[in-house]
Structure 1
Amino acid sequence: MTVAAPANANVPEGWSDPDAVDPLHFLALVLGIPLALALVIILVVITPGLIRGEKFAHSNAAPDSEWFGGPRSGTDALPAPDNAESKAGGASGKW
């Protein structure tokens, strides 16, 4: 049975031996830069709306329905079925 073991190798000659990285500096790089970038992107997206005076408050009101390409007066403008076999006026589900 073969067991994996860590490699025991020395640093090659001519390579530098870097100093240890400060954990706070590491966290600043790993967390700080993405957070700063996200804030900049958010500001770039929101600023034009704020300049125009738009409000960004959440509202519980449901938005109005919009039917693209449909009649302007709503479903009242749809044709009614002419007879029992007509397919006009909506879906005809059968069980």
Structure 2
Amino acid sequence: MTTHVSPPASSRSSRRALRTAVLAAAPALALVASPVHADVPEGWGGETEVNSLDTLNALAIYVGAPLLLFVIILVAVYLPAMVRGEKLLPDHSAGEGQWIGGPRQGVAELPAPDNENSRAGGASGSW
């Protein structure tokens, strides 16, 4: 059997009063607030000042900066490997072929074909 214990009446009324005060405070603060009167900073008024960007500066910003960032990252990645003397490019030389799961001695362990109709010795095909 479960018995629910309710909070005392004074606790409920204090919560209700707090909830009412919080809900009433928001509209009251919005009504009390007034706009701030400040002067417009110099240069923001009706003056029109155009700052133009010439072609050389635009190229330096939009092409040179990303290119410089690319080079810095490239050097940060490859320089430690070059200092250690590691190879930077993969080795594409033709190495030994591997037969995974095949005989350990290579094709020497495979049985030789007994006659013309024998299927021993590897794959075959006919047309």
Q: TM-score by structure 2 length?
A: 0.37
Highest CA radius of gyration, 1 or 2?
2
Q: If each structure's helix is expressed as a fraction of its own residues, which one has the higher value?
A: 2
| Bigger relative CO (Cα 8 Å, ≥ 6 apart) | 1
State the TM-score, normalizing by the size of structure 1: 0.47
